[in-house]
């Protein structure tokens, strides 16, 4: 209630990226004061043994995770665990730090309960993320979403993904290969069969040579035809991926009611407009993949109903981002309690 009636109206008067940084600063202050972490746990950290999920050989304390993009630089991952998330995915992380695209690059579409972003993999780089993740609390599940630097040509992309995989391997519980962001020029061409197969084969070979190989998943776009999805499924099985994250943001603007000054912004659209297509993709994946293949559902989850919809069609786990921005931190507990009671 506090978020919806006080904090959200104030934050929504600010530029979206500025509001993000202010929110992170406030959470860091709260977490650093004596008793602050306990207060966040008390307010938001709903836990229940009935929420536990086993997937990819990992025991998740809950199925509701934080999607990549919110805590890009692994700043507050332990805080988000305290606030009820069963797992947190950091990133997208690239080998070298990069500033990302020019600002403004993050836009709210309140009429559509959506965001458009063209951040461009802005992050502090793999080495800084490594140092931060070395401090994680025992038992907190961390996924690391990895990508390539903007200036790295596609023919050398595997070098960037390999660097991130090897460097962050000791601190990650699983990895997500991001080739589906629309905000790095040419990145989505890595979803084509030959480059994608070569990339995943290379990563899996390196992964198997490391002590304690980690699950590797692929994050895919919602804009694929079913024939393309079938090709992704075939590649995933051939390269022995552990799962798929479905889905990333969309380049579609179909059905939006916000002003054209917003809908005309370039970048990936997330939130409520992606919900239906994301669910359709998850349903298709589950129908054509083994029960051991992990599907993480993300896209347009704003309510307990939305979460159950994703799980009912075959997602093993779910992630929040835009719904978290619009609904506030209580959404995690609301969904988790509904899953226990059903």
Pairwise CA distance, residues 249 & 182, whole Å:
8
The yes-or-no answer on residue 181 being catalytic is yes
Which residues 6+ apart lie within 8 Å of 318 measured at CB? 63, 64, 65, 296, 297, 298, 301, 307, 310, 311, 335
Could you tell me the CA-to-CA distances from 245 to 116, 199, 278, 291 in Å, in that order? 19, 17, 10, 15
Choose the catalytic residue: 181, 236, 270, 330. Answer: 181
Pairwise CA distance, residues 221 & 11, whole Å:
29
Residue 77: how many CA atoms within 13 Å on its side-chain side?
29
Pairwise CA distance, residues 273 & 270, whole Å:
7
At residue 116, what are phi and psi to the nearest 5 degrees? -120, 130
Question: Residue 308 is inside which H or E element, if any?
Answer: helix 304-312
Q: Which residue has the tokens 């401090």?
A: 135
Which residues 6+ apart lie within 8 Å of 120 measured at CB? 98, 100, 101, 105, 150, 183, 184
Tokens of 103: 């600002």
Q: Which residue has the tokens 């070979």?
A: 205
Kindly list the catalytic residues: 181
């Amino acid at each position: 209630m506090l978020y919806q009636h006080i904090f959200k109206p104030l934050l929504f008067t600010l530029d979206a990226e500025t509001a993000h940084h202010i929110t992170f600063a406030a959470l860091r202050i709260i977490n650093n004061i004596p008793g602050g972490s306990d207060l966040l746990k008390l307010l938001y950290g709903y836990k229940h043994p009935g929420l536990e999920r086993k997937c990819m050989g990992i025991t998740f304390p809950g199925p509701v995770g934080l999607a990549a993009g919110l805590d890009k630089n692994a700043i507050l991952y332990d805080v988000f665990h305290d606030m009820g998330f069963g797992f947190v995915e950091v990133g997208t992380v690239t080998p070298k730090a990069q500033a990302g695209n020019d600002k403004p690059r993050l836009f709210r579409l309140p009429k559509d309960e959506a965001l458009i972003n063209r951040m461009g993999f802005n992050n502090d780089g793999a080495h800084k993320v490594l140092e931060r993740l070395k401090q994680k609390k025992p038992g907190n599940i961390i996924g690391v979403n990895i990508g390539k630097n903007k200036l790295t040509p596609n023919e050398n992309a595997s070098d960037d993904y390999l660097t991130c995989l090897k460097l962050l391997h000791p601190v990650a519980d699983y990895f997500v290969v991001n080739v589906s962001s629309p905000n790095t020029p040419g990145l989505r061409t890595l979803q084509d069969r030959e480059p994608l197969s070569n990339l995943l084969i290379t990563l899996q070979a390196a992964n198997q040579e490391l002590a304690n190989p980690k699950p590797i998943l692929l994050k895919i776009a919602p804009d694929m035809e079913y024939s393309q999805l079938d090709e992704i499924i075939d590649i995933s099985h051939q390269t022995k991926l552990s799962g798929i994250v479905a889905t990333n943001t969309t380049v579609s603007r179909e059905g939006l009611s916000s002003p054209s000054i917003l809908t005309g912004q370039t970048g990936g659209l997330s939130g409520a407009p992606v919900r239906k297509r994301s669910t359709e993709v998850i349903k298709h994946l589950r129908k054509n993949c083994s029960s051991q293949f992990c599907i993480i559902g993300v896209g347009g989850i704003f309510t307990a109903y939305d979460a159950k919809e994703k799980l009912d069609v075959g997602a093993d786990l779910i992630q929040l981002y835009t719904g978290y921005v619009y609904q506030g931190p209580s959404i995690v507990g609301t969904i988790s309690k509904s899953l226990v009671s059903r």
